[in-house]
Amino acid sequence: MRSKFDEQLKVLNNTLIEMGGIVEQAVIAATKALVEQDTVMAKKIIASDDDVDNKEKEIESLCLQMILQQQPVAKDLRLISSVLKMITDLERIGDHATDISEITILLADKKYIKKLEHIPKMAEETMYMLTRSIDAYVKRDKELAQEVIDYDDIVDELFVVVKNELVEMIHKDSANGDQAIDLVMIAKYFERIGDHATNIAEWVIFALTGTQKDKRRIL
């Protein structure tokens, strides 16, 4: 019976890694499309959001099968329950890649009011957090999960830098207002991606220890 559960758990781990990879590539592509003002790529990202949703449904089905067939308890049940929470965060990250791509299309025929420096850096840091959070789950590594949680401050600080720069540009010239607001929204989406990666890491810690922090609701 345990060997069957372990085999299902291996499939679950691999499928979660696949979903994480799809989401990661969507965010990387969304960043590239934004920087290069590539509407073709942006539209592909929007169209591919169904892939993320389908992978979420696949993992939900796997988790429910394991619960019904194996009736796990204690740590095993916490692990499966945590995965069900993690995939919600992964799905929201995929949605944010779509959100960023939609704004990219909106801005495609306009010259950027400033060179994009800190926003791509935010994307890089959030991707580091995402991959490490998934690694923490696969390796059952509490310390790695905590590292991801602590790392979120870096993304938050970058968001403040972006916001302050764009607010200053609006003060200097109100004509910059509309695009500045759009760019702040993009930065906010990356900040939220970091929050979702933090959530995943916190679910890893819950799965391993049974303890959980009060969680913020992230849209």
pLDDT at 175 over 80: yes
User: Would you state the pLDDT for residue 72?
Assistant: 83
Position 217 confidence tier, pLDDT thresholds 50, 70, 90: very low
Specify the 3-state DSSP secondary structure of 73: coil
Q: pLDDT tens for residues 11-24?
A: 999 999 999 999 99
Residue with tokens 């934004």: 34
Question: Which runs of consecutive H residues, i.e. helices, occur in the chain?
Answer: 2-36, 39-47, 49-70, 74-107, 118-139, 142-172, 177-209
Instruction: Residue 26: count other Cβ atoms within 10 Å of its Cβ.
Output: 25
Domain boundaries, the chain: 2-209
pLDDT tens digits, one per residue of 61-77: 999 999 998 888 888 89
User: For residue 59, what pLDDT band results from cuts at 50, 70 and 90?
Assistant: very high
CA 79 to each of CA 74, 136, 181, 205, 208: distance values in angstroms, whole numbers, following the listed order: 9, 13, 40, 10, 7
For residue range 111-146, list pLDDT tens digits in order. Answer: 999 989 999 999 999 999 999 999 999 899 999 999
Fold of 2-209: Methane Monooxygenase Hydroxylase; Chain G, domain 1 (1.20.58)
Residues contacting 83, CB < 8 A, separation 6+: 12, 16, 59, 63, 137, 203
